[in-house]
A and B are shown apart, each in its own frame.
Chain A
Amino acid sequence: MTGWLLAYLPLLASAILDCGFAFSQYVVLRAGVFSVATAGFASLGAYAGALLTMRLGLPPALSLIGSLVVGAAAGALLSIPLARLRGVFQAIATLAFVQIVLSVSLFVEPVTGGALGLNGIPQAVQLWHLVIFLLVLLYLLHALGGSSIGRAFDAARQDETVAVALGISVVRYHALAFTLSGGIAGFTGGLYAFNRYSLVPDQFGFAMLVASLAAVVLGGRISVLGPVVGTAVLALLPELARGFAEQRYLLHGALLMLVIIFLPDGIVDTAKFRWRGAVRGNAAH
């Protein structure tokens, strides 16, 4: 029994990290920003954290704060030009940002180690750190979602014109969403660096972008539990269907298409709406 559990611990660690990235994606989508910059923020945070410890000798705890600051700053800076764009154009611009970060981190070899990446990062982050991180993040985002900020995000997502008419500064809340997204992705990137020994630029490319987007779409974009459920489904699916291990991406792709077509609100949010509808239906009778 313990052996079986131990075999799954690395899976749990990587699922929690994926979940952190998914939350970064979740925050912007909840606020109605069509950004896919998470992978770029994560790369900046991961490299910042690892380099602060390896080159400047800072303790990992301080380096993680550095990751958070770098990610949040990148998000805040990016939000200034991107406030002028909308929809698809925002998505393309953030995709360009991810590509720029990727190619620059491949290019500046003396700093980042180029394609070979950074190796021998001290493994300062253990599984229990990650569990605490996830719980704290869940609590913070839950609290945020229930506050006026969360309601402003919801208004801005559902109808920008209405939000503006209600006196909500959409630009400011979008900037806040970008900053939060950057901070969460940067910090998770730092945890990733200190949990994995090594960093390679390619880890923070299109595949990560798709994975975090998929987790949020599967789980749901409104409820805080959405990204958790989405990540869990994506992580467990290959384990449950071992015979389909080779068809992993096939399964992911089919799941994405089915969910966006038949359950466009994601698993958690659809369940919530149904539940509320059922309760209201009973009350009416």
Chain B
Amino acid sequence: MLAQQVANGLVVGSVYALFALGFTLVFGVHHVLNLAHGSVCMWGAFIGLIAVAPDSVFATGPATPFLPLPVAFLLAMLGGGVLGVLLDLLAFRPLRKRHATEFAALVSSIGASLILISLAQQLSQTRILRFPFGTFPLQFFRFAGLRISSLQIFIFGCVAVLFAGLLFYLYRTSFGRQVRAVAVNERAATLLGVNPSAVYLQIFFISGALAGAAGVLIGLAFNSVNFLMGEPYLMRAFVVVVLGGLGSVTGAVVAGLLLGLIQVLTVVYVSSGLSDAIIFSILFLMLLVRPTGLFAGLRRDVRVVRG
């Protein structure tokens, strides 16, 4: 029973981790909270669904399959990435030029999020959509007393592959080195010949693509695609990034898995109604006790010392 819950928790947690990866990446490099990340994730699910079965969005009749799921998955990532780039160009770049405060960037991303949510609401006519039955070949395996579905394996595998790809990009390529340079000090990186605008575009593309992938996985896992689906994940992403350390990629993955476990275990052993209260209390306490997260080194600029 406990082992089964741990397995379920790790799968849920891997989705949280994937969502939070893009969120924390933007914060780590750009030092802004992108509150439109949930809406990009939601649009990823919509794009995936449109690619798999356009009828289920645009018509009401029985859905005829259009593209296979792997293609739809890639299209959703591409679409999410393009949305991320648009976000950077329209919502963040004008503010960056002006050296505006983090408050301005936050408000701008809320505005962008409202626009994206409103467009999706009109497209879906406020309906809750589903991937057609049989989009994913669902099978169940018994393994050491656990019951694991092929979908759970697929989700966990996707997240693992994307995380490995991101680590490779950040730590083994020249692009990644530029990204890390800008994250540490934008001015110094510029002096060394790095073009920060290009770095920001890349980061927003990757962040959006990861959100798009997360959207499809969430839509498949919970069999529901709707215009408000991003918001609960955005709220949980706050918990994940604070637990893992804002801006820390590895921290986000570990904390995402941890949050999945905490959530599943509190639902089973405490109460489903209290699960959210517990999660957000952990976030609150974490901010007070160790605002740099469990895994990050102490960063100077987190706290102020006042007289």
Given A96-B238, A100-B280, residue A253 in contact with residue B121 (CB < 8 A):
no
Main secondary structure of the interface of A (DSSP, over half): helix
Pairwise interchain contact B118-A249, C-beta atoms closer than 8 A: yes
Pairwise interchain contact B111-A257, C-beta atoms closer than 8 A: yes
Write the B276-300 contact mask toward A (1 if CB under 8 angstroms, else 0).
1100110110011001000000000
Residues in B whose Cβ lies below 8 Å from that of A171 = 306
Pairwise interchain contact B117-A249, C-beta atoms closer than 8 A: yes
Residues in A whose Cβ lies below 8 Å from that of B242 = 92
Residues in A whose Cβ lies below 8 Å from that of B277 = 100, 103-104, 107
Instruction: Say if the beta carbon of B7 comes within 8 Å of chain A.
Output: no
Q: B278's closest neighbor in chain A, by CB?
A: A103
Residues in B whose Cβ lies below 8 Å from that of A261 = 94-95, 108
Pairwise interchain contact A264-B104, C-beta atoms closer than 8 A: yes
Instruction: Say if the beta carbon of B303 comes within 8 Å of chain A.
Output: yes
Contact of A99 among B33, B98, B235, B291 (CB under 8 A): B235
CA distance A160 to B306 in the complex (A): 9
Pairwise interchain contact B302-A253, C-beta atoms closer than 8 A: no
Known: A99-B235, A249-B117, A252-B114; 13 extra A-B contacts, CB below 8 A, are A88-B33, A93-B288, A96-B283, A96-B284, A97-B284, A106-B273, A107-B271, A206-B235, A210-B110, A250-B115, A256-B107, A257-B115, A264-B104
CA distance A206 to B95 in the complex (A): 24
Main secondary structure of the interface of B (DSSP, over half): helix
Report A33 CB to chain B, min CB distance, Å.
11
Pairwise interchain contact A260-B108, C-beta atoms closer than 8 A: yes
Report A159 CB to chain B, min CB distance, Å.
12
Pairwise interchain contact B33-A217, C-beta atoms closer than 8 A: no
CA distance A246 to B117 in the complex (A): 12
CA distance A110 to B274 in the complex (A): 14
Report B281 CB to chain A, min CB distance, Å.
6
Report B235 CB to chain A, min CB distance, Å.
6
Instruction: Say if the beta carbon of B91 comes within 8 Å of chain A.
Output: yes
Given A92-B283, A261-B108, residue A249 in contact with residue B288 (CB < 8 A):
no
Binding site for A on B (CB under 8 A): 33, 90-91, 94-95, 98, 100, 102-104, 106-108, 110-119, 121-122, 231, 235, 238-239, 242, 246, 271, 273-277, 280-281, 283-284, 287-288, 291, 302-304, 306-307
Report A32 CB to chain B, min CB distance, Å.
10
Pairwise interchain contact B274-A164, C-beta atoms closer than 8 A: no
Residues in B whose Cβ lies below 8 Å from that of A92 = 33, 238, 242, 283, 287
Pairwise interchain contact B303-A264, C-beta atoms closer than 8 A: no
Pairwise interchain contact B111-A250, C-beta atoms closer than 8 A: no
Q: A256's closest neighbor in chain B, by CB?
A: B111
Instruction: Say if the beta carbon of A281 comes within 8 Å of chain B.
Output: no
CA distance A89 to B90 in the complex (A): 25
Contact of A250 among B104, B119, B306 (CB under 8 A): B119
Residue from B102, B103, B291, B302 whose CB has the most chain A CB atoms within 10 Å: B103
Residues in B whose Cβ lies below 8 Å from that of A146 = none
Report A31 CB to chain B, min CB distance, Å.
13
Residues in A whose Cβ lies below 8 Å from that of B104 = 260, 264
Pairwise interchain contact A96-B107, C-beta atoms closer than 8 A: no
CA distance A103 to B283 in the complex (A): 14
Contact of A247 among B94, B122, B307 (CB under 8 A): B122
CA distance A81 to B242 in the complex (A): 16
Residue from B275, B280, B283 whose CB has the most chain A CB atoms within 10 Å: B280
Report B183 CB to chain A, min CB distance, Å.
15
Pairwise interchain contact B107-A217, C-beta atoms closer than 8 A: yes
Residues in B whose Cβ lies below 8 Å from that of A81 = 288
Pairwise interchain contact B302-A89, C-beta atoms closer than 8 A: yes
Write the A26-41 contact mask toward B (1 if CB under 8 angstroms, else 0).
0001000010000000
Write the A226-269 contact mask toward B (1 if CB under 8 angstroms, else 0).
00000000000000000000111110111111001100100000
Pairwise interchain contact A84-B288, C-beta atoms closer than 8 A: yes
Report B103 CB to chain A, min CB distance, Å.
6
Residues in B whose Cβ lies below 8 Å from that of A252 = 111, 114
Q: A78's closest neighbor in chain B, by CB?
A: B284
CA distance A252 to B104 in the complex (A): 16
Pairwise interchain contact B118-A213, C-beta atoms closer than 8 A: no
Contact of A95 among B115, B238, B276 (CB under 8 A): B238
Instruction: Say if the beta carbon of A91 comes within 8 Å of chain B.
Output: yes
Pairwise interchain contact B107-A99, C-beta atoms closer than 8 A: no
Q: A252's closest neighbor in chain B, by CB?
A: B114
Pairwise interchain contact B114-A256, C-beta atoms closer than 8 A: yes
Pairwise interchain contact B114-A210, C-beta atoms closer than 8 A: yes
Pairwise interchain contact A255-B283, C-beta atoms closer than 8 A: no
Instruction: Say if the beta carbon of A86 comes within 8 Å of chain B.
Output: yes
Pairwise interchain contact A93-B273, C-beta atoms closer than 8 A: no
Pairwise interchain contact A213-B110, C-beta atoms closer than 8 A: yes
Report B290 CB to chain A, min CB distance, Å.
11
Instruction: Say if the beta carbon of A85 comes within 8 Å of chain B.
Output: yes
